[in-house]
Each structure stands twice: as C-alpha cells, then as structure tokens.
Amino acid sequence: GAVVSQHPSRVICKSGTSVKIECRSLDFQATTMFWYRQFPKQSLMLMATSNEGSKATYEQGVEKDKFLINHASLTLSTLTVSSALPVDSSFYICSARDPLAGVEKLFFGSGTQLSVL
C-alpha cells in the first residue's frame, strides 16, 4: 500500500521557537494532503487541507498565521508551527490520498508529538 512518511516523530522546543514538520508521500503523488491535531484523550481533528501549488484551506478556529502549510511539490507538505507556545503542545499527524487507491481511502503518517516548554 501507499506509504506516507512524517518527520520528526517527536520534538521538544522552547516557547517562541518555530517547528517544522514534514510529510512525504513515498510512492505516490499526493495533490492533496491533510493535517490533523490530537490533544490528549481527544479525537483527531482536521486542521487544514494542503493543496499542491496553492494555498491551504484551514478549518474554523485554526490560525493560518500560526500553522503555516507549504505544499511545494506533489510529494511533500510541511507544517510549521510559528512562535510555538505550550498550548500548541499536541500530536500532529498528516494524511494523503493516493488517487490510484480509491477516492475515499487515506494514508497516514506516523505523527509528530510536539512538546513546547
């Protein structure tokens, strides 16, 4: 099946720093990738839809200036958490759709646990 690679798996940073998370589709081209966030004991929640070559679409309540998404190629989307604060500490995970695998099926990265001190 399709593989999505996400790095880093874990990051600890100081308040005020920016953190970049990468999401790569290894064996397929992903025109669209999705970024989710999960707080402890909560469900995965969609943050934004990343479209190759165009601006990301953010869900209501997600600050686009805080969570910068770049989808510069068909295999790479990045999420940058700008000026991270302790409240941004969460689990972030990406997914992508392989057009050849069917319109509904999504493939996920393994996630990034962000801890902001």
Is residue 110 near other proteins by the rule CB under 8 A? yes
Q: Which of 110, 107, 68, 114 is nearest to 88 (CA)?
A: 114
Stretch that binds other proteins, among 13-21, 26-34, 69-77, 82-90 (CB under 8 A): 26-34
Nearer to other proteins, 10 or 18 (CB): 10
- H or E, element range at 77: strand 76-81
Taking the C-alpha atoms of residue 104 and residue 106, their distance in angstroms, rounded to an integer, is 7
Summarize as ranges the residues that interact with other proteins (CB under 8 A): 1, 4, 6, 9, 32-34, 41-46, 49, 57, 59, 93, 95, 97, 102-111
